[in-house]
Chains A and B, each alone.
Chain A
């Protein structure tokens, strides 16, 4: 009888079990769609696995990773990527900070300027690449037209045909696309700075520069950390804009590691080596992020 009662009276689940139960479907989906492909890509990176040669497929341990040290294309792409990150990040942070400071002020037309400044963010990378390609076009490009009308050049130039030119213009196109996101983050950070701090600093006869370095910058370290991490990742993984604009050329002047990875996997169908490239990109961005956090976390004023 007691046993029957036990079956009849269902014991409700505890909070902990309920939480697991409710989250389980999402966790299963994430495991299937995210964790499994990530794990599988690592497994593939340990294989000699080129779809063109299925009979040669075999487990080779970390050979794909060790071969990277003598892989000229990889080393060169890594250098290009590193330089690309430095240029894009430097320009983005400086320009975003200036733009955020301007947009944080009250003036007529601020709303319009804010909307315009955010516009590039809504543009997909491929469209961004196509737009800049039209602007930089050697025959009909708007840049050539503008510079000629201003009397700065005599004839149209092919801007993307020199290594340095292609690199700098590609970086510029990337900055244009990703700048608004950084502006939003920094603008949000600026809006949290109490006005009294500036008042107090002004009373203490601090000039504009000192107010910026002693009040603004410390308060912006946290949003700046977010900008640095996300923009580093973005620049390191930049693909679509570069692919459309230069295809990685001239030569390999704009062949970044992400471009090389896509080419290795999709054009050469070398999934083993391509997966190893992808894991190296992941490891590098992870290391950089940890370094940023180590440098900036718990510095400045975060207790808002």
Chain B
């Protein structure tokens, strides 16, 4: 067949029609609902997606508001949400990490909740640290999903075998106890920490700092770890000593993410770790753990042996700035993070009872159902006290926090592997913070 201009015109026409056809087939709904039936587009990371859906079905049944829920893999959650908002197809309501809040507000993804029904009531009822973590530039942007405080988790069975009757109050004591366990031949490395490079924050480093009353930044987010605050350097010095001299911290920690550390705790392979309170629920579950019944939580040991505090994190529900179904999306937010018609934080309670996720509501600890569930894996007094003394990182409000946290991981790895001395480590961190501040100014 001879190819003529007419054939080519026909083919070109088809070529132009192709993209239009593909575009018509695509399933893009612009930012916020947009489907016309008032349904809410809701996104979150993929933790227990089936349970989330179960809870959302209950919401739809009681409110008649349809929810289109999309779970997104945790490892890519932040990137995918950023890409969606940038491309104009973001959700109406979504999970928000406290680490991401400042950047997402600055990026015009979220709207403040101030003045909306019931928000003041929620903020009055939660721990101040959680309220602080959900506030940016004086405005409130979230209702609480879950929260946790970082604690020392120890295996009382192993400690008892070594003749140790109470957990350590100071870091010196922690090292001495660990050495005793090591010398008794019970464990070669009694302390395990998740110190492999990853995109998630290292709560244990912040907990050690806050536990000794230190901080890396002042209230204006200026780095102080190399000047007025010596705690960071002293904690790094202790880490280096425990990792390379007394050798009580497992060198394999540098290869460990949180899940392998959890598995090791459950297999009685570590006597101590520093991590989230809710992990104890699994550690003490006989169906999942050989150490069940022996795991306890304690305050994070400090340099001077006194009680100073710990670090908390807050996961929240946020409302998209450009949502077209604001009323329905806020109804969903209230259901998930606020009070129900019986003045109960239904979803917060649901998550604690189902999976042991920490709650931001102070009064929940007095609920007999909660206390009974809590007693199965923790001492309610210690659990509650940790929540009371926990505070969020004060550097979450800067747009360069993620970069700093990543840099901190590398520096701490250098300290643990004896490649970087504590003084050089704090100098390097201060330098990084200053460089990042300048870059983002």
Contact = CB atoms under 8 A, between A and B. Distances in A.
Interface of A: 10, 12-13, 18, 21-22, 25, 28, 50-55, 72, 133, 137-139, 155, 158, 160-163, 246-252, 255, 263, 266-269
Interface in B384-441: 399, 402-403, 406, 409-411, 413-414, 416-417, 419-420, 435, 440
Contact of A249 (B82, B254, B269): B254
B7 to A, nearest CB: 9
Contacts of B6: 10
A10 B1 CA distance: 13
Contact of B79 (A161, A248, A267): A267
A161 B255 contact: yes
Contact of B252 (A28, A72, A158, A268): A158
Given A52-B399, A251-B414, 11 more contacts: A10-B5, A13-B5, A51-B83, A53-B399, A53-B440, A138-B251, A138-B255, A249-B197, A250-B414, A267-B78, A267-B199
Interface of B: prevailing SS = helix
B173 interface: no
B198 A12 contact: no
A8 to B, nearest CB: 12
A247 B197 contact: yes
B255 A52 contact: no
A22 to B, nearest CB: 8
B107 A52 contact: yes
B4 interface: yes
Nearest to B106: A53
B4 A54 contact: no
Contact of A54 (B5, B108, B402, B420): B108
A137 B255 contact: yes
Nearest to A159: B255
- 7 smallest CB-CB distances across A and B, nearest first, come from A138-B252, A247-B197, A52-B103, A158-B252, A251-B414, A161-B254, A249-B197
Contacts of B107: 51-54
Given A138-B251, A251-B414, A267 B402 contact: yes
B172 interface: no
Contact of A139 (B3, B252, B410): B252
12 contacts: A12-B2, A12-B4, A52-B107, A54-B86, A139-B264, A139-B269, A158-B255, A161-B255, A161-B417, A162-B417, A251-B413, A251-B417
Given A12-B3, A155-B188, A161 B197 contact: no
B259 interface: no
A251 B419 contact: yes
A17 to B, nearest CB: 9
Contacts, number: 105
The A interface is mostly helix, strand or loop, or mixed, namely: loop
Contacts of B82: 51-52, 269
Nearest to B256: A138
Interface string B172-203: 00000000000000001000000011110000
Chain A CB count within 10 A is highest, among B78, B199, B255, B403, for: B255
B8 interface: yes
B15 interface: yes
B186 to A, nearest CB: 15
A25 B251 CA distance: 57
Contacts of B86: 51, 54
Given A28-B15, A248-B197, A251-B414, A160 B255 contact: yes
A53 B264 CA distance: 41
Contacts of A25: 11, 15
A139 B108 CA distance: 46
Contacts of B198: 247
B221 to A, nearest CB: 16
A21 B8 contact: yes
Contacts of A247: 196-198
B417 A267 contact: no
Contacts of A13: 2-5, 8
A52 B197 CA distance: 22
A185 to B, nearest CB: 34
A92 to B, nearest CB: 26
Interface in B72-99: 78-79, 82-83, 86
A6 B309 CA distance: 93
Given A246-B197, A269-B82, A158 B254 contact: yes
A101 to B, nearest CB: 37
Contacts of B409: 249
A251 B411 contact: yes
Contacts of B83: 51
Interface string B249-281: 011101100000000100001000000000000
Contact of A158 (B3, B103, B251, B406): B251
Nearest to B420: A251
B410 to A, nearest CB: 5
B254 A250 contact: yes
A51 B264 CA distance: 39
Contacts of B420: 251
Contacts of A50: 399
Nearest to A54: B107
Greatest chain B CB density within 10 A among A50, A52, A252, A268 is at A52
A247 B257 CA distance: 11
A268 B399 CA distance: 10
Contacts of A250: 254, 413-414, 416-417, 419
Given A52-B106, A163-B419, A251 B410 contact: yes
A22 B264 CA distance: 63
A10 B4 contact: yes
